[in-house]
Protein backbone atom coordinates (compact mmCIF):
# COMPACT_ATOMS: atom_id res chain seq x y z
CA UNK A 1 0.00 0.00 0.00
CA UNK A 2 1.32 3.46 -0.82
CA UNK A 3 -0.14 6.80 0.19
CA UNK A 4 0.94 9.47 -2.28
CA UNK A 5 1.12 13.07 -1.16
CA UNK A 6 1.63 15.94 -3.59
CA UNK A 7 4.73 17.94 -2.70
CA UNK A 8 5.90 20.89 -4.87
CA UNK A 9 4.14 19.62 -7.96
CA UNK A 10 5.16 15.97 -7.87
CA UNK A 11 3.97 12.87 -6.08
CA UNK A 12 6.12 11.36 -3.39
CA UNK A 13 5.45 7.83 -2.10
CA UNK A 14 5.77 7.87 1.66
CA UNK A 15 3.95 4.91 3.18
CA UNK A 16 4.63 1.41 1.94
CA UNK A 17 3.92 -1.97 3.56
CA UNK A 18 5.68 -5.24 2.83
CA UNK A 19 2.75 -7.53 3.56
CA UNK A 20 2.97 -11.11 4.86
CA UNK A 21 1.35 -13.79 2.72
CA UNK A 22 0.41 -16.81 4.82
CA UNK A 23 0.56 -20.32 3.40
CA UNK A 24 -1.67 -21.50 6.27
CA UNK A 25 -3.57 -19.84 9.15
CA UNK A 26 -1.29 -18.86 12.02
CA UNK A 27 -1.34 -20.64 15.35
CA UNK A 28 -1.32 -18.35 18.35
CA UNK A 29 0.11 -18.10 21.82
CA UNK A 30 -2.53 -16.86 24.26
CA UNK A 31 -2.00 -14.52 27.20
CA UNK A 32 -4.61 -13.43 29.72
CA UNK A 33 -4.53 -9.67 30.26
CA UNK A 34 -4.09 -9.02 33.96
CA UNK A 35 -7.03 -7.46 35.83
CA UNK A 36 -6.65 -4.76 38.45
CA UNK A 37 -6.36 -6.12 42.00
CA UNK A 38 -9.77 -7.02 43.39
CA UNK A 39 -12.24 -9.74 44.28
CA UNK A 40 -13.80 -9.80 40.81
CA UNK A 41 -11.10 -10.27 38.13
CA UNK A 42 -13.45 -9.48 35.25
CA UNK A 43 -11.93 -7.74 32.23
CA UNK A 44 -13.03 -6.58 28.79
CA UNK A 45 -10.58 -5.52 26.07
CA UNK A 46 -11.65 -3.38 23.11
CA UNK A 47 -8.71 -2.12 21.04
CA UNK A 48 -5.05 -2.78 20.27
CA UNK A 49 -2.23 -0.58 18.95
CA UNK A 50 0.66 -1.67 16.76
CA UNK A 51 2.87 -1.22 19.83
CA UNK A 52 1.03 -4.13 21.47
CA UNK A 53 -0.67 -1.87 24.03
CA UNK A 54 -4.36 -2.63 24.59
CA UNK A 55 -7.26 -0.80 26.25
CA UNK A 56 -10.50 -1.79 27.91
CA UNK A 57 -11.96 -2.00 31.39
CA UNK A 58 -11.79 -4.14 34.49
CA UNK A 59 -13.60 -4.41 37.79
CA UNK A 60 -11.66 -3.19 40.80
CA UNK A 61 -12.94 -4.06 44.26
CA UNK A 62 -13.11 -0.88 46.31
CA UNK A 63 -16.73 -0.74 47.43
CA UNK A 64 -20.03 -2.00 46.12
CA UNK A 65 -21.13 0.14 43.19
CA UNK A 66 -20.40 1.26 39.65
CA UNK A 67 -17.22 3.06 40.68
CA UNK A 68 -15.55 -0.37 40.71
CA UNK A 69 -15.36 -0.42 36.92
CA UNK A 70 -12.14 1.28 35.74
CA UNK A 71 -10.63 2.08 32.35
CA UNK A 72 -7.36 0.22 31.82
CA UNK A 73 -4.29 0.49 29.58
CA UNK A 74 -2.38 -2.78 29.22
CA UNK A 75 1.29 -2.65 28.32
CA UNK A 76 2.68 -4.76 25.48
CA UNK A 77 3.54 -7.39 28.11
CA UNK A 78 -0.02 -7.41 29.47
CA UNK A 79 0.43 -5.41 32.69
CA UNK A 80 -2.53 -3.14 33.60
CA UNK A 81 -2.47 0.56 34.43
CA UNK A 82 -5.56 2.08 36.04
CA UNK A 83 -6.49 5.20 34.04
CA UNK A 84 -10.06 5.38 35.33
CA UNK A 85 -9.74 6.44 38.95
CA UNK A 86 -12.07 9.00 40.54
CA UNK A 87 -15.03 8.16 38.30
CA UNK A 88 -18.39 6.51 38.77
CA UNK A 89 -17.76 4.28 35.73
CA UNK A 90 -14.99 4.30 33.17
CA UNK A 91 -14.09 2.25 30.10
CA UNK A 92 -11.36 2.74 27.48
CA UNK A 93 -12.66 2.04 23.97
CA UNK A 94 -9.98 3.07 21.46
CA UNK A 95 -6.25 3.78 21.21
CA UNK A 96 -4.42 5.56 18.37
CA UNK A 97 -0.95 4.77 17.06
CA UNK A 98 0.22 8.03 18.64
CA UNK A 99 -0.96 7.02 22.11
CA UNK A 100 -4.27 8.86 22.48
CA UNK A 101 -6.95 6.87 24.33
CA UNK A 102 -10.70 7.51 24.38
CA UNK A 103 -13.73 6.07 26.06
CA UNK A 104 -16.06 6.90 28.89
CA UNK A 105 -15.39 8.36 32.32
CA UNK A 106 -18.48 9.35 34.31
CA UNK A 107 -17.93 12.09 36.85
CA UNK A 108 -21.53 13.35 37.03
CA UNK A 109 -24.92 11.71 36.86
CA UNK A 110 -24.73 11.00 33.11
CA UNK A 111 -22.21 9.27 30.85
CA UNK A 112 -19.27 11.37 29.71
CA UNK A 113 -16.80 10.79 26.91
CA UNK A 114 -13.11 11.06 27.82
CA UNK A 115 -9.78 11.56 26.04
CA UNK A 116 -6.54 10.50 27.70
CA UNK A 117 -3.28 12.10 26.53
CA UNK A 118 -0.42 10.64 28.51
CA UNK A 119 -1.32 11.19 32.16
CA UNK A 120 -3.89 13.91 31.36
CA UNK A 121 -7.61 13.14 31.05
CA UNK A 122 -9.95 15.53 29.24
CA UNK A 123 -13.72 15.25 29.43
CA UNK A 124 -15.59 15.27 26.10
CA UNK A 125 -18.94 17.01 26.60
CA UNK A 126 -22.20 16.24 24.78
CA UNK A 127 -23.89 18.62 22.38
CA UNK A 128 -25.45 21.68 24.07
CA UNK A 129 -28.59 20.74 25.97
CA UNK A 130 -27.91 16.98 25.85
CA UNK A 131 -27.09 14.99 28.99
CA UNK A 132 -24.58 12.31 27.92
CA UNK A 133 -21.69 11.45 25.59
CA UNK A 134 -19.36 8.53 24.88
CA UNK A 135 -16.23 8.32 22.71
CA UNK A 136 -15.40 5.15 20.78
CA UNK A 137 -12.20 5.90 18.84
CA UNK A 138 -9.53 8.54 18.16
CA UNK A 139 -7.29 9.38 15.20
CA UNK A 140 -3.56 9.99 15.26
CA UNK A 141 -3.98 13.76 15.73
CA UNK A 142 -6.18 13.36 18.81
CA UNK A 143 -9.58 14.03 17.24
CA UNK A 144 -12.08 11.74 18.96
CA UNK A 145 -15.32 10.35 17.53
CA UNK A 146 -18.40 8.94 19.21
CA UNK A 147 -21.90 9.97 20.17
CA UNK A 148 -23.86 12.61 22.01
CA UNK A 149 -27.08 11.13 23.33
CA UNK A 150 -30.32 11.83 25.11
CA UNK A 151 -31.39 8.18 25.28
CA UNK A 152 -30.42 4.85 23.72
CA UNK A 153 -32.53 5.71 20.67
CA UNK A 154 -31.82 9.46 20.47
CA UNK A 155 -28.16 9.42 19.50
CA UNK A 156 -26.10 11.73 17.26
CA UNK A 157 -22.73 10.93 15.68
CA UNK A 158 -20.11 13.54 16.60
CA UNK A 159 -16.41 14.30 16.49
CA UNK A 160 -14.56 16.30 19.15
CA UNK A 161 -12.07 18.88 17.88
CA UNK A 162 -10.10 20.55 20.69
CA UNK A 163 -12.66 19.05 23.06
CA UNK A 164 -15.68 20.60 21.33
CA UNK A 165 -18.40 18.33 19.88
CA UNK A 166 -19.34 18.77 16.21
CA UNK A 167 -22.18 16.92 14.49
CA UNK A 168 -20.82 14.84 11.64
CA UNK A 169 -22.18 15.81 8.20
CA UNK A 170 -25.31 13.89 7.28
CA UNK A 171 -25.77 12.58 10.83
CA UNK A 172 -29.25 12.61 12.34
CA UNK A 173 -30.81 11.83 15.73
CA UNK A 174 -30.24 8.11 15.19
CA UNK A 175 -26.62 7.94 14.12
CA UNK A 176 -23.44 6.43 15.58
CA UNK A 177 -19.76 7.10 14.80
CA UNK A 178 -17.89 4.02 16.01
CA UNK A 179 -14.40 3.90 14.44
CA UNK A 180 -11.80 6.16 12.82
CA UNK A 181 -8.50 5.43 11.08
CA UNK A 182 -5.22 7.28 11.58
CA UNK A 183 -6.09 9.81 8.89
CA UNK A 184 -9.49 10.75 10.29
CA UNK A 185 -11.81 8.72 8.04
CA UNK A 186 -14.76 7.79 10.27
CA UNK A 187 -17.37 5.05 9.94
CA UNK A 188 -20.60 4.09 11.64
CA UNK A 189 -24.29 4.03 10.84
CA UNK A 190 -27.37 6.19 10.36
CA UNK A 191 -30.94 4.98 10.81
CA UNK A 192 -33.71 6.42 8.66
CA UNK A 193 -36.35 3.88 9.53
CA UNK A 194 -36.98 1.33 8.06
CA UNK A 195 -33.54 1.71 6.45
CA UNK A 196 -30.12 1.55 8.10
CA UNK A 197 -27.17 3.13 6.29
CA UNK A 198 -23.50 2.22 6.65
CA UNK A 199 -21.74 5.59 6.79
CA UNK A 200 -18.29 6.93 5.89
CA UNK A 201 -17.37 10.47 6.98
CA UNK A 202 -14.38 12.28 5.46
CA UNK A 203 -13.89 15.88 6.57
CA UNK A 204 -17.06 17.77 5.60
CA UNK A 205 -18.33 15.03 3.26
CA UNK A 206 -20.16 11.77 3.87
CA UNK A 207 -20.85 8.64 1.83
CA UNK A 208 -23.68 6.13 2.25
CA UNK A 209 -21.95 2.82 1.57
CA UNK A 210 -23.65 0.28 -0.73
CA UNK A 211 -25.50 -2.66 0.79
CA UNK A 212 -26.47 -6.14 -0.42
CA UNK A 213 -29.99 -5.16 -1.42
CA UNK A 214 -31.76 -5.16 1.95
CA UNK A 215 -31.48 -1.39 2.61
CA UNK A 216 -29.91 -2.31 5.95
CA UNK A 217 -26.15 -2.08 6.62
CA UNK A 218 -23.68 -0.75 9.17
CA UNK A 219 -19.93 -0.22 9.38
CA UNK A 220 -17.88 -1.34 12.38
CA UNK A 221 -14.27 -0.37 11.56
CA UNK A 222 -11.88 1.07 8.96
CA UNK A 223 -8.17 0.49 8.35
CA UNK A 224 -5.60 3.02 7.17
CA UNK A 225 -6.06 1.85 3.56
CA UNK A 226 -9.72 2.90 3.70
CA UNK A 227 -10.99 -0.69 3.76
CA UNK A 228 -14.16 -0.88 5.87
CA UNK A 229 -15.77 -3.86 7.61
CA UNK A 230 -19.32 -4.29 8.83
CA UNK A 231 -22.59 -6.06 8.10
CA UNK A 232 -25.46 -5.97 5.61
CA UNK A 233 -28.78 -7.64 4.91
CA UNK A 234 -29.45 -8.96 1.42
CA UNK A 235 -32.79 -8.72 -0.40
CA UNK A 236 -34.16 -11.74 1.50
CA UNK A 237 -33.11 -10.28 4.88
CA UNK A 238 -30.22 -12.69 5.36
CA UNK A 239 -27.37 -11.19 7.35
CA UNK A 240 -23.75 -11.21 6.11
CA UNK A 241 -20.43 -9.85 7.35
CA UNK A 242 -18.91 -7.72 4.60
CA UNK A 243 -15.91 -5.70 3.50
CA UNK A 244 -16.08 -2.42 1.55
CA UNK A 245 -12.88 -2.12 -0.45
CA UNK A 246 -11.55 1.42 -0.54
CA UNK A 247 -11.58 3.69 -2.40
CA UNK A 248 -14.27 2.23 -4.70
CA UNK A 249 -16.32 0.87 -1.76
CA UNK A 250 -17.06 -2.29 -3.71
CA UNK A 251 -18.81 -4.64 -1.28
CA UNK A 252 -17.73 -8.26 -0.81
CA UNK A 253 -19.10 -10.95 1.50
CA UNK A 254 -16.77 -12.55 4.04
CA UNK A 255 -16.90 -16.38 4.02
CA UNK A 256 -19.12 -18.20 6.49
CA UNK A 257 -17.51 -20.74 8.86
CA UNK A 258 -20.24 -23.32 8.24
CA UNK A 259 -21.64 -23.42 11.77
CA UNK A 260 -23.67 -21.13 13.99
CA UNK A 261 -26.38 -18.62 13.12
CA UNK A 262 -24.60 -15.51 11.82
CA UNK A 263 -21.25 -13.72 11.94
CA UNK A 264 -20.14 -10.28 13.07
CA UNK A 265 -16.86 -8.66 11.96
CA UNK A 266 -15.24 -6.17 14.32
CA UNK A 267 -11.92 -5.09 12.80
CA UNK A 268 -9.71 -5.36 9.71
CA UNK A 269 -6.02 -4.50 9.56
CA UNK A 270 -4.08 -2.99 6.65
CA UNK A 271 -3.21 -6.48 5.40
CA UNK A 272 -6.92 -7.30 4.99
CA UNK A 273 -6.99 -9.77 7.90
CA UNK A 274 -10.31 -9.45 9.73
CA UNK A 275 -11.56 -10.62 13.12
CA UNK A 276 -14.93 -10.97 14.77
CA UNK A 277 -17.30 -13.65 16.03
CA UNK A 278 -19.93 -16.22 15.11
CA UNK A 279 -23.19 -16.22 17.08
CA UNK A 280 -24.21 -19.80 17.78
CA UNK A 281 -27.92 -18.93 17.98
CA UNK A 282 -30.20 -16.12 16.87
CA UNK A 283 -30.41 -14.81 20.44
CA UNK A 284 -26.59 -14.59 20.74
CA UNK A 285 -26.61 -14.44 24.53
CA UNK A 286 -23.32 -13.68 26.36
CA UNK A 287 -20.99 -16.63 25.92
CA UNK A 288 -23.02 -17.89 22.97
CA UNK A 289 -20.32 -16.85 20.46
CA UNK A 290 -16.97 -18.03 19.16
CA UNK A 291 -14.09 -15.81 17.98
CA UNK A 292 -13.34 -15.82 14.23
CA UNK A 293 -10.38 -14.99 12.00
CA UNK A 294 -10.71 -14.20 8.28
CA UNK A 295 -7.40 -14.55 6.43
CA UNK A 296 -6.33 -15.29 2.84
CA UNK A 297 -9.90 -16.03 1.72
CA UNK A 298 -10.61 -18.47 4.56
CA UNK A 299 -12.37 -18.25 7.92
CA UNK A 300 -11.26 -19.99 11.10
CA UNK A 301 -12.50 -20.53 14.63
CA UNK A 302 -9.74 -18.94 16.72
CA UNK A 303 -10.35 -21.52 19.45
CA UNK A 304 -8.80 -24.12 17.13
CA UNK A 305 -5.66 -22.01 16.59
CA UNK A 306 -4.59 -21.63 20.24
CA UNK A 307 -2.76 -24.33 22.24
CA UNK A 308 -5.14 -27.13 23.30
CA UNK A 309 -5.92 -27.64 26.96
CA UNK A 310 -5.75 -24.00 28.01
CA UNK A 311 -9.23 -24.14 29.52
CA UNK A 312 -10.20 -20.87 27.82
CA UNK A 313 -13.02 -20.30 25.34
CA UNK A 314 -12.70 -17.22 23.13
CA UNK A 315 -16.08 -15.62 22.49
CA UNK A 316 -15.16 -12.63 20.35
CA UNK A 317 -12.08 -11.20 18.61
CA UNK A 318 -12.27 -7.43 19.08
CA UNK A 319 -9.23 -5.97 17.26
CA UNK A 320 -6.12 -6.89 15.25
CA UNK A 321 -2.93 -4.87 14.70
CA UNK A 322 -0.36 -4.85 11.89
CA UNK A 323 1.84 -7.42 13.67
CA UNK A 324 -1.11 -9.85 13.58
CA UNK A 325 -1.72 -9.65 17.33
CA UNK A 326 -5.39 -10.03 18.29
CA UNK A 327 -7.28 -9.07 21.43
CA UNK A 328 -10.24 -11.24 22.42
CA UNK A 329 -12.92 -11.56 25.06
CA UNK A 330 -13.46 -15.03 26.50
CA UNK A 331 -13.92 -17.00 29.69
CA UNK A 332 -12.93 -20.19 31.44
CA UNK A 333 -14.73 -23.22 29.99
CA UNK A 334 -18.30 -23.44 31.25
CA UNK A 335 -18.46 -19.83 32.49
CA UNK A 336 -19.42 -16.51 30.89
CA UNK A 337 -17.58 -14.14 33.28
CA UNK A 338 -15.47 -12.14 30.80
CA UNK A 339 -11.71 -12.10 30.60
CA UNK A 340 -9.46 -10.21 28.18
CA UNK A 341 -6.79 -12.00 26.14
CA UNK A 342 -4.07 -11.16 23.66
CA UNK A 343 -3.12 -13.63 20.93
CA UNK A 344 0.34 -13.50 19.35
CA UNK A 345 1.11 -15.40 16.12
CA UNK A 346 3.61 -18.21 16.67
CA UNK A 347 6.70 -17.70 14.54
CA UNK A 348 6.71 -21.32 13.36
CA UNK A 349 3.00 -21.59 12.67
CA UNK A 350 2.72 -19.24 9.69
CA UNK A 351 5.32 -18.97 6.98
CA UNK A 352 5.50 -15.61 5.19
CA UNK A 353 6.41 -15.66 1.52
CA UNK A 354 9.96 -14.66 0.56
CA UNK A 355 10.60 -10.96 1.04
CA UNK A 356 7.42 -10.44 3.08
CA UNK A 357 7.51 -8.83 6.50
CA UNK A 358 5.34 -7.93 9.48
CA UNK A 359 5.07 -4.38 10.78
CA UNK A 360 7.61 -3.90 13.59
CA UNK A 361 8.71 -0.26 13.31
CA UNK A 362 7.73 1.66 16.43
CA UNK A 363 8.66 4.60 18.65
CA UNK A 364 8.44 4.35 22.43
CA UNK A 365 7.16 6.32 24.18
CA UNK A 366 4.63 7.60 21.66
CA UNK A 367 3.58 10.43 21.99
CA UNK A 368 7.10 11.69 22.69
CA UNK A 369 8.27 14.91 24.30
CA UNK A 370 11.54 14.77 22.35
CA UNK A 371 13.06 11.58 23.74
CA UNK A 372 12.51 7.91 22.99
CA UNK A 373 13.75 4.85 21.16
CA UNK A 374 12.87 3.73 17.63
CA UNK A 375 13.00 -0.04 17.12
CA UNK A 376 12.45 -2.38 14.17
CA UNK A 377 13.10 -5.93 13.06
CA UNK A 378 14.94 -7.30 10.02
CA UNK A 379 15.16 -10.89 8.83
CA UNK A 380 18.51 -10.56 7.03
CA UNK A 381 21.65 -8.53 7.87
CA UNK A 382 22.55 -5.48 5.80
CA UNK A 383 22.05 -1.76 5.46
CA UNK A 384 18.97 0.26 6.40
CA UNK A 385 17.91 3.89 6.20
CA UNK A 386 15.49 5.56 8.59
CA UNK A 387 13.75 8.80 7.48
CA UNK A 388 11.39 11.22 9.20
CA UNK A 389 8.83 13.33 7.28
CA UNK A 390 6.13 15.68 8.42
CA UNK A 391 2.54 15.08 7.33
CA UNK A 392 2.94 17.26 4.22
CA UNK A 393 5.69 14.95 2.95
CA UNK A 394 8.54 17.35 3.79
CA UNK A 395 11.75 15.52 4.73
CA UNK A 396 12.83 16.30 8.31
CA UNK A 397 15.74 13.99 9.16
CA UNK A 398 17.37 10.67 8.30
CA UNK A 399 20.07 8.25 9.41
CA UNK A 400 21.79 5.52 7.41
CA UNK A 401 22.92 2.27 9.07
CA UNK A 402 25.47 0.54 6.78
CA UNK A 403 25.80 -2.75 8.69
CA UNK A 404 22.94 -4.12 10.80
CA UNK A 405 22.59 -7.69 12.07
CA UNK A 406 19.40 -9.70 11.63
CA UNK A 407 16.93 -9.22 14.47
CA UNK A 408 15.91 -6.18 16.48
CA UNK A 409 17.70 -2.85 15.88
CA UNK A 410 17.28 0.43 17.74
CA UNK A 411 18.07 4.12 17.37
CA UNK A 412 17.30 7.01 19.66
CA UNK A 413 14.88 9.68 18.49
CA UNK A 414 17.51 12.30 19.34
CA UNK A 415 20.11 10.67 17.08
CA UNK A 416 17.86 11.41 14.09
CA UNK A 417 16.51 14.87 14.86
CA UNK A 418 19.68 16.12 16.59
CA UNK A 419 19.75 18.87 19.20
CA UNK A 420 17.31 21.08 17.29
CA UNK A 421 13.72 20.71 18.38
CA UNK A 422 11.00 19.93 15.88
CA UNK A 423 7.52 21.27 16.41
CA UNK A 424 4.48 19.63 17.90
CA UNK A 425 2.55 17.43 15.49
CA UNK A 426 2.36 14.08 13.67
CA UNK A 427 5.45 12.80 11.85
CA UNK A 428 5.98 9.80 9.59
CA UNK A 429 8.83 7.32 10.06
CA UNK A 430 9.97 5.40 6.97
CA UNK A 431 12.39 2.47 7.16
CA UNK A 432 14.12 1.16 4.02
CA UNK A 433 15.71 -2.29 4.51
CA UNK A 434 18.53 -4.04 2.64
CA UNK A 435 16.07 -6.52 1.07
CA UNK A 436 14.14 -3.66 -0.57
CA UNK A 437 11.18 -3.79 1.82
CA UNK A 438 9.91 -0.65 3.50
CA UNK A 439 7.86 0.03 6.59
CA UNK A 440 6.27 3.08 8.18
CA UNK A 441 5.01 4.24 11.54
CA UNK A 442 3.57 7.46 12.96
CA UNK A 443 5.04 9.55 15.76
CA UNK A 444 3.28 12.23 17.76
CA UNK A 445 5.53 14.98 19.15
CA UNK A 446 4.16 16.92 22.13
CA UNK A 447 5.70 20.28 23.09
The pLDDT tens digits of the residues spanning 238-297 come to 999 999 997 889 999 999 999 999 999 999 998 899 999 999 999 999 899 999 999 988
Tens of pLDDT, residue by residue over 41-89, are 789 999 999 999 999 999 876 555 556 789 999 999 999 999 988 778 8
Candidate from 79-93, 347-361, 397-411 with smallest mean pLDDT? 347-361
Q: Does pLDDT of 446 surpass 90?
A: no
- If you average pLDDT over each of 87-91, 214-218, 402-406, which comes out highest? 214-218
* DSSP bridge partners of 251: 244
How far apart are the C-alpha atoms of 325 and 307, rounded to whole Å? 16
- Predicted TM-score (pTM) of the model is 0.75
Give the pLDDT of residue 25.
84
Give the pLDDT of residue 10.
25
- Is residue 416 classed as helix, strand or coil in its secondary structure? helix
Tens of pLDDT, residue by residue over 109-122, are 689 999 999 879 99
Give the chain's mean pLDDT: 85
Tens of pLDDT, residue by residue over 13-29, are 223 223 344 447 889 99
How far, CA to CA in Å, does 433 sit from each of 150, 383, 401, 403, 439? 52, 6, 10, 11, 8
Q: How is residue 68 annotated by DSSP?
A: G
Structural domains for the chain: 24-345 (2.120.10.30), 362-445 (2.60.40.4070)
Amino acid sequence: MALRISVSGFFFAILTFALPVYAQPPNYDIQELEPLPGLFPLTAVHDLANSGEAVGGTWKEEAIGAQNHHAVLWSASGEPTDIGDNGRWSEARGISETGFIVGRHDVVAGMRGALWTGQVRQMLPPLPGQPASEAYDVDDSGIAIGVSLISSTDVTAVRWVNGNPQILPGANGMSWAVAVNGGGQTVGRRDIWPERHAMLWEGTAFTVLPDLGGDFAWATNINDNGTICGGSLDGSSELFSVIWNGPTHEITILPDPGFGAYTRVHDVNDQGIAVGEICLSIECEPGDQRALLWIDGGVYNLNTLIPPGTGWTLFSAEAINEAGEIVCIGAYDGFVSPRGFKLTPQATASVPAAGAGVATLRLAPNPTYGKGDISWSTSIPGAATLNIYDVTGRWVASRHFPHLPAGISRASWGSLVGPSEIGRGVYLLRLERADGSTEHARAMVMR
